[in-house]
Amino acid sequence: MTTLPPRAVRRCHHPVNLLHSSVYFSPEFGEELAGVGVADPHAAYFAGRAAAMGAVGAGVVAATFYNFNHALIARHLPAVWDTASPADVLAARLRAADRTLRRLLGDAVDSADMAEAAELALHATEACTRHARPLYAAHADLPVPDAPHLAYWHAATLLREHRGDAHLVALLSAGLDPLEAVVSHTATGTGIAPRWVLASRGWQQSDWDAAVERLRGCGLMDAEGALTEAGTALREEVEDHTDRLDTAPYAHLGAARVERLTELAKGFLAAAAAAGAFPPHLTGRR
C-alpha cells in the first residue's frame, strides 16, 4: 500500500467534503425538493441524503446519520416517501447540485481543473469498499453523472459517505453516543455551534446539558465545558481511527495525486465560501 504523509487523508477529505455539503445548505436544494413536494427543511435533508438507500424509515436514518434525534426523524420518515419517491428526490438533489455549483463556482464548473478533479476523485473511489458502509454502499450503486462538476460532486459524495461510515465505527469504539460525539467535537473549537445542533438535530438544551455532564463524569470535560487532556486525546484518536479506516481510496490515488486533489479541492472550496456557500452561524462554540 502507498505510504501517505501524516494526515494527508484528512487534509484531502476536508475540502472535498465541505464543497459536497454546500449543496445541502443551498437555496437551490430547498427549491428543488419543494418542487417535488418536500418543502419542510428537515424532511428535505433526511430524504435528500437517505434517498440512495430507498424508502427507508426513521430507524435506518437514525443509525446511519448517527447524531440526529430519532424522534425528529420519525416526524418525517417514512411519510415523506408518500409525497416523493426516492428516485424523484435523487433527481431533485442532482438538479440542486448542478444549480448550486454553477452559482458558486461560475465558469470553473467547465474548466480543465474541474475535469481533472473529477478524474482524480473518481479514481480514488475505486478503492472504496461497501462492507459495513451502508450510506457509501447505497451511493456507490448510483450512476456517475456525465458533466465534470456533477461527476466531481458525485465522487465527493462517495468519499464523504465512505469516511462518514468509518467515523461512526470510530465513535462507537470511543464510547461516544450521538450527542456526546457532537458536544465533544464542538468543544474542540471546530465543531457545529450548539444552537445549530439543537435547531437542526432535534435535541433540547436539557439533552445537551446531560451529555456535558456525562462527559464530565468520564473525565473528558472540565467544569468550564472545555475538553480535558483525556478528552482531547480521545477526540484525536477518533480522527486517527477514522483516517486509518479511510486510507484505502487515498493510498490508491497515490501521494502526488492526493496532493493535487487537495490543491484543487481547496481552490473550489475557497471560491464557494467567498460566494456565500455556508451559513455564517454554522460553526463556533456559542
SS percent in the chain: helix, strand, coil, step 5? 70, 0, 25
Let me know the angle formed at the C-alpha of 110 by 104 and 113, rounded to the nearest 5 degrees: 90
Backbone angles phi, psi at 273, to 5 degrees: -65, -40
144 DSSP 8-state letter? P
For residue 227, what are the β-bridge partners? 221
Q: Please identify every stretch of the chain with a pLDDT value under 70, giving residue numbers as ranges.
A: 1, 281-286
pLDDT tens profile 91-143:
999 999 999 999 999 999 999 999 999 999 999 999 999 999 999 999 999 99
CA pair distance 284, 286, nearest whole angstrom: 6
pTM of the model: 0.95
CA pair distance 266, 258, nearest whole angstrom: 12
Q: Which three cell numbers stand for residue 128?
A: 472504496
Q: What is the pLDDT, as a whole number, of residue 1?
A: 58
Q: What is the pLDDT, as a whole number, of residue 74?
A: 98
